[in-house]
Amino acid sequence: MRLSLVLTSLSALSSLSVQAEKELPVIHKEDFSKDASAWKTTDDSKWKLTTVDGNQVYELLGVSRYRPPFRSPHSIALLKDKIVGSFVLTARIQTTQTSRGHRDLCFFFNYQDPAHFYYLHLGEKPDPNSSQIFIVNQSARKNLILTKEGIPWKNGQFHDLKIVRDIETGTIDVYFDDMEKPVKSAVDKTFTWGQVGIGSFDDKGYFDDIVLRGIEIKKGKPEGLHPKK
């Protein structure tokens, strides 16, 4: 009965229209006004709460000492104890890195373990390793589709971000400032559950007003490629 209810709920997310987004239950809302205890980082020394224009945000100070098993971002803060399949995530973000081609912030989703997850790389200039949607599947990161659009970061300014993930269709849509037209889209069904997270490959920035909407589910069976035992 419970499984049937969850599957029915997930099917209802398949289109994830603007109206549906508003009706999805809020799983977690984070403004960092008190603390960042809901997040687990790869290197606590590189994260801190800081005040910007009278508002407290979560600041990433630079590249973390964490070294992943396969080439992928170093600085990650995962939302603890929340597993989702389909979801809508919104946030306010600002890069504090000086302008360069690969300056970035990243978002992680359907994160199952350090060798199995997706991530969004919000790089300033696009190339095969920047400003793409990537999959890490028991090997170095691989872009799902090669997009030609970079991210128009503006120094000293917060930007609005939205990620819409639908595990039924496999779609991943990314919105940056304009919440009506996606700047990046991809389709992949390899991973259908996992955590969400924030961070960067090796840069720094601010994160605030994160809202995760969707249906919270239990941890599923491992997906993707795994070494033979």
Hey, CA dihedral for 80, 81, 83, 87, is it positive or negative? negative
Residue at 161: amino acid letter:
L
Mean pLDDT in the chain? Answer: 92
Question: For every one of its 229 residues, what pLDDT tens digit does the chain have, with 9 covering 90 and above?
Answer: 344 434 444 444 445 545 556 678 999 999 999 999 999 999 999 999 999 999 999 999 999 999 999 999 999 999 999 999 999 999 999 999 988 878 999 999 999 999 999 999 999 999 999 999 999 999 999 999 999 999 999 999 999 999 999 999 999 999 999 999 999 999 999 999 999 999 999 999 999 999 999 999 999 999 999 998 7
Cβ density class 125-141: b for 16+ within 10 Å, e for less: ebeebbbbbbbbbeeeb
Residue at 132: amino acid letter:
Q
Show me where the domains of the chain are located.
Answer: 2-216
**Residue 186 to residue 145: CA distance in whole angstroms:** 6
Name the CATH code of domain 2-216 (choices 3.40.50.2000, 2.60.120.260, 2.60.120.560, 1.10.1660.10): 2.60.120.560
Q: What is the per-residue pLDDT across 134-168, written as a single tens digit (0 to 9) for each?
A: 999 999 999 999 999 999 999 999 999 999 999 99
Which residues are registered as beta bridge partners of 179?
Answer: none
Q: What is the per-residue pLDDT across 118-141, written as a single tens digit (0 to 9) for each?
A: 999 999 999 999 999 999 999 999
Helix (H) or strand (E) holding 7: helix 2-11
Residue 155 tokens, joined: 């120094």
